[in-house]
Amino acid sequence: MLIKFEVNGTPAEVDVEPRLSLADCLRDTLHLTGTHLGCEHGVCGACTVIVNGEAVRSCLMLAVQADGENVVTVEGLSNDEALTPLQAAFRKHHALQCGFCTPGMITTAHALLSEEPNADADRVREVLSGNICRCTGYVPIIEAVLAARTAYGADQ
Amino acid sequence: MNGERAPNILIGRPIERVEDPRFLRGRGQYVADVNKEGQLFAVILRSSVAHGMLRKIDGDSALKIPGVRAVITAPDLGSQVPVIPLRLHPLPQLEPFCQPVLAHDKVRYVGEAMAVVVADTAAIAEDALDHIDVEIDSLPAITDRAGAEAAAATLFEQHGTNVAIKWTAVRGDADKAFQSADYVRRETFRVQRHAALFMEPRGIVAEWDDAAQRLTFWGAAKVAFANRKILADAMGLSEQQIDMVEVDVGGGFGSRGEFYPEDFLIPFAARFLNQPIKWVEDRREHLMTGNHAREIECDVEIAATNDGRILGLRGQSWTDNGAYIRTNGSVAPRNVAQYMSGPYAIENIHLTTSSLTTNKTPAGTYRGPGRFEGDFVRERLIDLMARDLGLDSIEVRRKNLVADAQMPYPFATITPYEFASEFDSGDNHALFELCLEEFGWAEKVELQGKFIDGRYHGISIGCFIEGGAAGPSEDARIVLETDGMFSVYLGSASVGQGIETIMAQIAGDALEVPFDSIRVLHGSTAHVTAGYGSFHSRSTAMGGSAILLAAEALRTKIRAVAAATLGCSPSDVSLDADRARGPSDTSVMYAELSSEPIEAEATFRNKKTTYAYGSLAAHVAVDPGTGQVEVIQVSSTKDVGRMINPATLRGQSVGAIVQGLGGTLLEHLVYDEDGQLLTGTLADYMLPTADDFPNISTTVIELKPAPHIPLGAKGAGEGEIIPIGGVIANAVANALADLGVEPYELPLSPPRIWQLIEAARSSG
Ligand code: FES
Ligand code: FES
């Protein structure tokens, strides 16, 4: 099936098998390997991308379901010049070790803070509890996301 | 500055990691991101039966599916199916229990590899699995100790027993100590099967170059050199014909990077078909094939004087090793026996561990192997003893910790494959007192056993040691490139712990050059002559020490080259951040020193284990209605001798604590009596999530540098996971002291705690 959607602000047109997941389409067809697969059954959150502003598990979504939609991956939340405030906060707080869960954490946190820049620690923990990290113990991830809130317009 | 060391300016600082920008932008390159021109995809046909005779595997109809290139079964491997050797403790009596790379006569666990299917896409290969005709005559599955000890049933008929080996740790005269002791208590403890469960699934890309007769293997981790040797032997190649390449690695924790069947099967298939082959496991496969860990039963007794001096530990343990003894399958059983005494001065020890084989996934190491289990037993026994004798458990620990002045102090000696070790240098008491203070013991003790708002509160503290810096050696090579940059090549591997940053800090200080002029390359076999890798918390201490030696050698060489250019003697040359200086204001930039790179390689050798010491305290609240244990706070202290990067160290500490809490409260690989794994997804196997354990504080200090390591750093990657099971169980027992609940088994899941409470109530 031929589908058209927007990925990281650029139009994409791909011919996919109906059974292809959005995650595999992003990784294998479009070579956006920042989206990771940790479980392929919707639990770990490593594959989280942003579809029309909402955090979505790309392993649970078919590529054909993205037809006509707007998809943003971790690559789309990055630029070459400098780390974004969210990324810089992750680095500063040592919120990543192996880095495998990191793209999913960044996309999930970005979707959250874009909607709720004043999210408190409990809210951040609640939302990120859908993303598994085996390395950090989460404490620094929560610190990083809380620290990044001002960049999303949180009340000072 | 000549001859004088400048003060360290990089070591000890929380420098932001060089790895982070690529990971944060989604530009890491993990093995699943590696693709080779013309690659095919492999999937593994796995046994769905736990124990049985393999009568037939017929891939003919699978081969008819368009896009399927091969179905590789045992006969394709040649006259002998390769068997995976032991990397550690290679004892001849264990050889019959080693795993063949493909099952041929028998299958022994659900998930065991029986065939490899190769196709144009992973989806086609997966479809083809359903078209392979397999016949297995089922045998009764052995899934527990009772089954394993029943002589009639054996996984390895020719061996006649399911007890692969029995280890014995001895010190002093335990029987004599127990005979005359005032106090003795004996209990049976159990720790459940769980696993490292790193987030990135395992994967391999292998390519065979037929013209050059060379193999390249992407996806190496942890012990690339050891695995290259195993692979070379199994494929009939020389080690020089194989390049093991390490790419970014999504967590290891002891389990990733050991030699698994696929580490042979995928390279073999690449040569067999003469095409690059890619394989990435899925999560269900990982749960049933990656090394499991921790499953053990311990029948152990403690002897003490009436005033709480521990006199001895005695008893037997049985580890459930699963179907085969894998590369490092003896580490945990040995450590349980040898290190059960932990940081306490216990003069009389007689502890055995029997390694049992059962029809479950083979076991290997997981962060703090054997130590987590042994500490659970010991810390529980100490608290039981204190309660029985009416003593304060804090005082009892103070009384029994090995004092600084007693070091070096020997552990029990373990046999066979005899190993004796001793505490190197450390101040257990200082760490214990600091932990009490950081935790706020004096105030929190008011809560002990109190029932507040529907929950019982309990606190507890325990002590641990972490072994590190395993020998025998590590290599480093440093090259001054012609652009003035320094490349550091290391045998140590990364498993996601930030090695590029840490090693650049060490190298920068050793070379007295800025952080930005260092580039670290590691883990791949092409970089150095030999390497032992990343296990037993050894990378920093061993690899870092190799860097110090190589840096010194390189500085000598640079002085010699600069002296020739500047027309002076090498002893007149001093080395600056970017240039070499001679007498009377002459100097030459490193970038202009030579048209050839200048390099030096060095090997650091060390046979002695380092020990990091620490304490950990916890506060829990238990809901008697549901059995739910909430961890309200955990505080820990640890002495690592020398801190390279406080930020990454804290990361290791907090990460270890949360993993340990998972193993104590949540994680459980459950089998039914037919040997079927019931927890085959992350929805069934519960890992800690962001809202489970919010309050964790860790304190890492530099008190006693490692005496045998020039860098002074002790291994520090496992530490705080070790005491968690015992500390949390003791806190739960303290919370429920009025009810008389004493947990002897992990995990401390709500149903288990609820049942203990109900049982205590109905008997009380
Ligand atoms: S890979 Fe999608 S949730 Fe785990
Ligand atoms: S950083 Fe490794 S899984 Fe999160």
Contact A126 B123 (CB under 8 A): no
- Decide which of A19, A43, A77 is a domain's last residue: A77
**Cα–Cα dist B169/B416, whole Å:** 9
Among A57, A77, A97, give the residue marking a domain's end: A77
* ipTM attached to this prediction: 0.98
Asked whether the predicted pLDDT for residue B5 surpasses 70, the reply is no
3-state helix, strand, coil in chain A (%, to 5): 40, 15, 45
Residues A29 and A66 both lie in one domain: yes
Task: Return the ligand number nearest the Cα of A42.
Answer: 1
Write down which residue in A52, A77, A102 finishes a domain: A77
pLDDT tens per residue, range A58-93: 999 999 999 999 999 999 999 999 999 999 999 999
Q: Which of B108-122, B349-363, B466-480 is the least confident region?
A: B466-480
Encode pLDDT of B548-575 as tens digits.
999 999 999 999 999 999 999 999 999 9
The predicted pLDDT at position B472 comes to 79
- Min Cα separation A84/chain B (Å): 9
Looking at chain A, the whole-number percentage of residues with pLDDT higher than 90 is: 97
**pLDDT band for position B3 (50/70/90)?**
very low
- Measured from the alpha carbon of residue B200, the closest ligand is 2
DSSP one-letter code for B718:
S
Q: Residue B540 carries which DSSP code?
A: I
Residue scoring higher pLDDT (B296 or B473):
B296
> Each residue of B37-60: pLDDT tens digit?
999 999 999 999 999 999 999 999
- pLDDT at A156 exceeding the cut of 70: yes
CB contact under 8 A, A94 and B250: no
The enclosing domain of A109 has a CATH number of 1.10.150.120
Structural domain of A60: 2-77
Question: Are A106 and A46 members of one domain?
Answer: no
Residue B611 has pLDDT above 60, yes or no: yes
Query: Which numbered atom of ligand 1 lies nearest the CA of B682?
Result: 4
**Which tens digits make up the pLDDT trace of B680-708?**
999 999 999 999 999 999 999 999 988 88
d(CA B701, CA B698): 10
How many domains in chain A?
2
The 10s digit of each residue's pLDDT in B701-749 is 999 988 888 888 887 778 899 999 999 999 999 999 999 999 999 999 9
Same domain, A123 and A147: yes
- Tell me what the mean pLDDT of segment A122-149 comes to: 98
Residue A101 sits in the same domain as residue A70: no
In this predicted model, what pLDDT tens digit does every residue of B473-508 receive, in sequence order? 888 999 999 999 999 998 777 666 788 899 999 999
- Which pLDDT belongs to residue B7? 64
Q: What band does B424 get if pLDDT is binned at 50, 70 and 90?
A: confident
Could you give the domains of chain B?
20-29+471-605 (3.30.365.10), 37-139+220-232+256-280 (3.90.1170.50), 143-200+290-422 (3.30.365.10), 424-468+609-764 (3.30.365.10)
Mean per-residue pLDDT for A136-148?
A: 98
Residues A95 and A147 in one domain: yes
Contact B694 A125 (CB under 8 A): yes
User: Using CA atoms, how far apart are residues B361 and B669, in angstroms rounded to an integer?
Assistant: 10
Mean pLDDT of B436-453: 98
Helix (H) or strand (E) holding B433: helix B428-439
Band of the pLDDT at B1, cuts 50, 70, 90?
A: very low
Q: Are residues A41 and A12 in the same domain?
A: yes
Quote the pLDDT of residue B717. Answer: 78
Q: Indicate yes or no: CB of A33 within 8 angstroms of CB of B29.
A: yes
Residue range B411-423, pLDDT digits in tens: 999 999 998 888 8
Query: pLDDT per residue over A95-111, tens digit each?
Result: 999 999 999 999 999 99
Q: A125 with A103, same domain?
A: yes
Residue B146 dihedral angles phi and psi, to the nearest 5°:
-60, -45
Å between B201 CA and nearest CA of chain A: 6
pLDDT at B436: 98
Give per-residue pLDDT as tens, B229-287: 999 999 999 999 999 999 999 999 999 999 999 999 999 999 999 999 999 999 999 99
The rounded Å distance from CA B716 to ligand 2 centre is 18
Q: What is the mean pLDDT of residues B377-393?
A: 98
Of the residues A77, A98, A122, the best mutation for testing chain B's interface (the one with the most B CB atoms within 10 Å of its CB) is A98
Q: pLDDT tens for residues B161-187?
A: 899 999 999 999 999 999 999 999 999
* Domain match, A71 and A116 both: no
pTM strictly above 0.90: yes
What is the spatial distance between Cα A33 and Cα B28, in angstroms, rounded to a whole number? Answer: 8
User: Which of B19, B20, B280, B631 should be substituted to probe chain A, the one whose Cβ sees the most A Cβ atoms within 10 Å?
Assistant: B20
Element (H, E) at B451: strand B451-452
Site from A49, A100, A105, A123 to mutate, B interface, most B CB atoms within 10 angstroms: A100
Nearest to A136 among B123, B249, B654 (CB): B654
Using the mean position of ligand 2's atoms as its centre, give its distance from the Cα of residue B198 in Å. 8
Averaged pLDDT score across all residues of chain B: 94
User: B498-514: b or e for each residue (b if 16 or more CB lie within 10 Å)?
Assistant: bbbbbbbbbbbbbbbbe
Atom of ligand 1 nearest to the CA of A44: 4
For the residues B90-103, what does the mean pLDDT come to?
95
| Nearest CA-CA partner of B707 in B282, B422, B296 | B422
For residue B747, cis peptide bond before it (omega within 30 degrees of 0): yes
pLDDT higher than threshold 70 for residue B4? no
- Selected residue with higher pLDDT from B628 and B493: B628
**CA atoms of B420 and B401, how far apart (whole Å):** 20
